[in-house]
Amino acid sequence: MIEFVLDARSKVNTYVQLIQQVKQALRVGLLVPGDQLPKVRDVAQSLAINPNTVLKAYRELEIEGLVEGRPGVGTFVRRTLGGPPLADQAELRGDLVAWLGRARAAGLSPEDVIALVETTLRATLAAEAVRTQPASAGRPASAG
C-alpha cells in the first residue's frame, strides 16, 4: 500500500502532491490494478490535512480513470501507468541509488538533484527529437 508524504516547502498544492505520488507508484509498479488506496480518513489523519483534500485528489484520479471509488468499501486502482515490471527496473534503481549517493557526497541538495535530473531529461529528450526529425524538417522551402 502507498504511504503518502507531503513536502511542506513545495509550492505544489497538497492534493496535487497526492495525485503525483499515486501516479508515480502506478508508473513503477508499486500500485497495480485491484490495489486499494489508503482510506481518506487515514490519510487525512496521518498527514494532518483536511479529508476534503484527499477526496479531491482521489476524485481527480477517478476522473482520469486510474482509480474507482466503491461506496462503503474504499478506492481501488483500475489501471496502471507502468511500463516494464518493477523487477525489470531493479538494476536501474540500483544504479540510481548509487548515483544519488555520489550526488549527495558531492554536496548536492535534494532540490539540486531534482533540478539536475529534470534539466538533463529535458535536454536529452530535445536532442533525441532533433535526431529523429526528418532531414528536411526545419528547412525553408525553396522558391521555384
pLDDT, tens digit, 9 for 90 and up, residues 15-49? 999 999 999 999 888 899 999 999 999 999 999 99
- Predicted pLDDT at 137: 54
C-alpha–C-alpha distance, residues 78 and 57, integer Å: 15
Nearby residues of 92 by Cβ (< 8 Å), 6 or more positions away:
none
Q: Identify the band that residue 89 occupies on the pLDDT scale cut at 50, 70 and 90.
A: confident
Using alpha carbons, select from 22, 20, 24 the residue that is nearest to residue 10: 20
DSSP annotation of 141: P
C-alpha–C-alpha distance, residues 40 and 53, integer Å: 9
- Predicted pLDDT at 51: 97
pTM above 0.85, yes or no: no
Hey, what amino acid is at 104?
A: R
Using alpha carbons, select from 71, 46, 43, 70 the residue that is nearest to residue 57: 43
- Predicted pLDDT at 138: 54
Provide the mean pLDDT of the chain. Answer: 89
